[in-house]
Structure 1
Amino acid sequence: MRTFNTRAAALAAAAATAVAVLSPAPAAADVPPGQRGRVVDAKALAGTAALPSASANRLVSYTSQGVNGRRITVSGTVSLPQGAPPRGGWPVISWAHGTTGTADVCAPSASVPGGPVDDYVSITSAYLDRWVARGYAVVQTDYEGLGTEGGHPYMNGESAANTVVDLVHAARRLDHRIGRDWFAVGHSQGGQAALATAAARQRTGQLNLKGAVAAAPGGYDLHLTVDYIRQQLPGAQYALAFLPTLITGAEAADPSIVPEELLTDEAIATLLKAGRTECTARHREIALTFPLDKVFRPGADLAPLTAYLRSQDPVDFDLRVPTQVVQGTADVLVSKATTDLLVDALRDGGEIDYKVYQGVDHRGVLDSSFEDSFTFVEKLRGDRHPGGTR
């Protein structure tokens, strides 16, 4: 997500009193389980998100449960392996993508060569193609509000976990050859989503969540973003690159957070506009030249924004299934120091396999970690570990 130094990570650890992100919505607001994971539409998929080694790639829309327990429609993709499925059906990789933005044009399923998120989706598709080539059905959610109605509640763990699991339900309804055993795998923003999925409460017995893989997971230090920018600390320019996504995502999760009340007129015209209409690569370009002292409106009450970001911190997750975390030492977006502290905290509440790759950066960790992650997942498939059911 951002470059924060070791001192900042230590501050994050000391300050991590996050409210548990996976607290269920009031029962009256919950979408009935039978309505979740229903296929709304399905058609052939083209573009960057289609996996070359798949026998079929489908663009789907399906029902899920969003923030505040409301029923939502989500878009995503389903890619099937070649050949006949094994007994019990193909195992599933449910992929949670990294930060692309909150505007509808940033939905990975809509990515095309040269498009606004192609620089990222082309890399993740190459990674996921290795899974489908080895016999895994691969499903990829766009998350709530990316390419579909409503805003995208960026880094909201509960919403992300719901969309990750409900796409597996939808895929099994779409093709009966897809099995019950599945794994949550994600990168960056999606690393937090994979951890949230691994910690989420059980919902049904129709699926068997065997484990999770989180690559360079974000979220641990989000609540430091505001202070980093205001105090112009080292790494503040990286933090600013994510502010358009953070603030529009917080607004989507909690409408009482109004970006126009927090940002200067200059920031509204530049940063906020970009957050609502453009994707992460463009946000990075803008952040390089935007003055840090012109971001927040003088006297603005930033406490609700900071509190929301803190509430999505994965530090207090109690993981219900074995989880692998992979991290590169040359990552300047999610630092190894930050991930070290997150893993130490997660080990108190779950089974963690932590792999570190020397000289590997934020996106490079996907290719570098594939064989270790494949071995980790294959072992869990072979074990009679009960996993979790959702």
Structure 2
Amino acid sequence: MNTLTKAGSGRTRGVGLFTLVAATSVALVAAGCSSNSSAEADGAATLEPGQLLSSQQLRGAPVLPSAARSELITYVSQNAQGDPVVVSGTVSIPKTAAPDGGWPVLSWAHGTTGVSDICAPSADSDDGLAHDYLGVVDETLDRYVADGYVVVQTDYVGMGTPGGHPYMDGGTEANAVVDIVRASRDLDDSISNQWYAMGHSQGGHATLFTAAQGAERAPELDLRGAVAIAPGNGTSQTPAYLASGNPAVAPALAFLPLILLGAEAADPSIDADSYVTPTSKALLTAARNGCVAQIRDVIPSVPVDQAFAPGADMDKLIGYLKKQEPAQLKLSVPTMILQGTADTLVAEPGSKALAKALCDSGSTVGYKTYEGADHRAAVADSFGDAEQFFQQLQAGGTPAGTC
């Protein structure tokens, strides 16, 4: 079969998959933006969130060893404007026999890798730009597959498929996390409608929005609970943090281009380039062409006091970001927040305050820390507690330690 190498990814995908994604994306745009009654537009307009568009055998680094079957799929979801979009992701089906009622599903939301297509988990390779993170996470996800969970992993809107990635846009993240569960069930009749949402960092943020919106979005499914590991929060404070010009906050520059490009993807009236100086534009360029490591490589050349352009519309940016804060949510399913005490990217006090805010809103939330665990280590360290939480919910119990 002819293959097409995805630029910069070091792996191949079938031409048929990319042709379908491109053709479907064009048709979706036509359906959303044109009044013409062409056959393509009419066909695209009938596509429903969660509809499976394509599947093919997954190969290479993203394959979880304990899976009997690994699929690279595309499916329909919705962007921040509510328009249908094509999203890619992976489905890992266990080797173990399906129990009565089918295998439960774990929908994993990945942490920050970047916003460009080469940072998508399904595009990972042994020498991939985000493999240092994705490879570590996959080791833990494989344990869930070995224990009988179907693990589905969305790439999110705009990562691996056309269009920009609305980084940290809670509603769009939740759409992708929910809709891949719907799509996966078309692959195998033994996949249950019972499912759990779980994610790390950016994906922890996505998980909390899924815990708030997922059950209503897909009432035909049975969302039992959610686990958010070191969930991203307080993003609306980042612009002011950087605008202070304090050199000590330079590491946070890695997130500036992701926030700007993500906001632009969600709200086209926000122009990412209008927020940066000629010096800090290098951060946007790195984000458009690389992943987080490539952005960090540029940071030494960007003084913090030159991060934002004079006169940039900070109120508009911050106003958008405030709408993405998870502390304002009311969760509809029991949720655990799990956090490492040595995390310097998502600090423990912030996660603790987030858990309290969610409890105060009437949500059912548990909170646990892992002494000495940094941002990435919390994924593996929390495995036992997360799985026990899922098992208790699967058995119909009420997990202890929740508010």
Same fold (TM over 0.5): yes
Aligned mates of 2:220, 2:102 — CA distance in 1: 13
1:337 to 349, 362, 377: 349
Aligned mates of 1:294, 1:171 — CA distance in 2: 46
* Contact kept in structure 1, 2:247 and 2:304, CA below 8 Å: no
Letter in 1 for 2:314: L
- Who is 2:372 aligned against? 359
1:152 to 157, 161, 165: 165
* Contact kept in structure 2, 1:228 and 1:235, CA below 8 Å: no
- Who is 1:237 aligned against? 250
Q: What does 1:192-203 correspond to in 2, within 5 Å?
A: 192-200=205-213, 202-203=216-217
* Contact kept in structure 2, 1:324 and 1:354, CA below 8 Å: yes
Q: Please say which structure displays the higher CA radius of gyration.
A: 2
Aligned mates of 1:204, 1:308 — CA distance in 2: 26
- Who is 2:228 aligned against? 214
- Who is 1:328 aligned against? 340
- Who is 1:42 aligned against? 55
Q: What does 1:346-385 correspond to in 2, within 5 Å?
A: 346-348=358-360, 349-383=362-396
Pairing 1:190–2:203 present? yes
What is the DSSP-based 3-state SS (H/G/I as helix, E as strand, rest coil) of the residue aligned with 1:300? coil
CA RMSD, 1 decimal: 1.8
Structure 2 unpaired stretches of 5+: 1-31, 34-43, 399-403
Instruction: Report Cα offsets for 1:39-89 as digits up to 9, x if no partner.
Output: 111011112221011111110000111111100000000000013200010
**Deviation at 1:232?**
3.0
Q: What does 1:214-293 correspond to in 2, within 5 Å?
A: 214-218=228-232, 220-233=233-246, 236-268=249-281, 270-293=282-305
* Contact kept in structure 2, 1:215 and 1:366, CA below 8 Å: yes
- Who is 2:323 aligned against? 311
1:300 to 283, 305, 312: 312
What is the DSSP-based 3-state SS (H/G/I as helix, E as strand, rest coil) of the residue aligned with 2:226? strand
* Contact kept in structure 2, 1:267 and 1:296, CA below 8 Å: yes
Relative distance call for 1:234 and 1:87 in structure 2 (3 A) is farther
Aligned mates of 1:298, 1:37 — CA distance in 2: 43
Instruction: Report Cα offsets for 1:291-321 as digits up to 9, x if no partner.
Output: 1122111122221111111110001110100
- Who is 2:23 aligned against? none
Aligned mates of 2:180, 2:46 — CA distance in 1: 13
Bigger shift: residues 69-78 or 294-303: 294-303
What is the DSSP-based 3-state SS (H/G/I as helix, E as strand, rest coil) of the residue aligned with 1:174? coil
* Contact kept in structure 2, 1:47 and 1:110, CA below 8 Å: no
What is the DSSP-based 3-state SS (H/G/I as helix, E as strand, rest coil) of the residue aligned with 2:280? helix
What is the DSSP-based 3-state SS (H/G/I as helix, E as strand, rest coil) of the residue aligned with 2:193? strand
**Deviation at 1:384?**
6.2
What is the DSSP-based 3-state SS (H/G/I as helix, E as strand, rest coil) of the residue aligned with 1:41? strand
Q: TM-score, normalised by structure 1?
A: 0.88
Letter in 1 for 2:220: Q
Relative distance call for 1:295 and 1:322 in structure 2 (3 A) is same
How many pairs does the alignment contain?
355
Q: TM-score, normalised by structure 2?
A: 0.85
